[in-house]
Amino acid sequence: MSEINLYFRLGIEHILAIDSFDHILFVIALCVAYPLSMWRQILILVTAFTIGHSLTLALATFRIVIIDVDFIEFLIPITILITSVGNFITKPEVGKNILYHSKYLIALIFGLIHGLGFSNYLILLLNPDEKLFIPLGSFNIGVEAGQIIIVIAFGIITWFFTIICKIKHEIWSNIVSATVAVTAFFLLLKQ
């Protein structure tokens, strides 16, 4: 198996692994407030998150930024909690208010935090003597592929409950956001 395939697969496996479900929760919290018809906004939010975590993943992997692993692991559930609680505060009304637009900046900033979490895993896998560009790029693309899988899977689940079961999207969003918030709170208590 080539190095590219290896790290790509490891990136997908890392984000989809059950012991890394905090990243899955964050992506769900980021997307749930938006009905499927607002797929462009979902794409922009996930892209902002991706830019943030790609930046810190690279900086931490090259050891330009070094932050305590325990501190990052403490911050990740906080990002999930804030994002899911934020879904109750701001509703997705395109261009209506500053809080709506701040979600993109928040997704970017929280992506920076999650990227540091991804980097801790990647650093453990890497040989310090090997060139980092191919493993880093492949791992990052694998993480992105995993996020796309999460967004599509959650979109299908959302479609089922909002279209087939006819649950109003706002009710669906509130149920999922509350569930994610409670889960994040318990993750925080575990720290």
pLDDT tens track, the chain, 191 positions: 688 999 899 889 988 988 778 999 999 999 999 999 988 889 889 989 999 988 998 898 888 888 898 999 999 999 999 999 999 987 666 555 565 668 889 999 999 999 898 787 777 777 766 678 888 889 889 988 999 999 999 999 999 999 999 999 999 999 999 999 999 999 999 87
Q: In whole angstroms, what is the distance from residue 142 CA to residue 150 CA? A: 12
Q: Residue 33 — φ and ψ, nearest 5°?
A: -70, -15
Look up residue 44 and give its two tokens: 């922009």
Query: Which DSSP category does 94 fall into?
Result: T
Residue 129, pLDDT score: 64
Look up residue 155 and give its two tokens: 């979109």
**Buried residues in 14-31 as b, exposed as e (16+ CB within 10 A):** bbbeeebebbbbbbbbbb
pTM: 0.88
Angle between helices 133-159 and 3-16 (to 10 degrees): 40
Angle between helices 21-31 and 69-89 (to 10 degrees): 20
Q: Which domain holds residue 116?
A: 3-190
Q: Which of 77, 75, 31, 32 is nearest to 56 (CA)?
A: 75
Domains held by the chain: number? 1
pLDDT digits (tens, 9 = 90+) for 68-121: 989 999 999 999 999 999 999 876 665 555 656 688 899 999 999 998 987 877
Helix, strand or coil, per DSSP, at residue 20: helix
66 burial level (CB within 10 Å; 0-12, 13-18, 19+): exposed
Residue 62, pLDDT score: 83
**Type and span of the H or E element at 83:** helix 69-89
Residues in the chain: 191
Residue 69, pLDDT score: 87
Residue 92, pLDDT score: 63
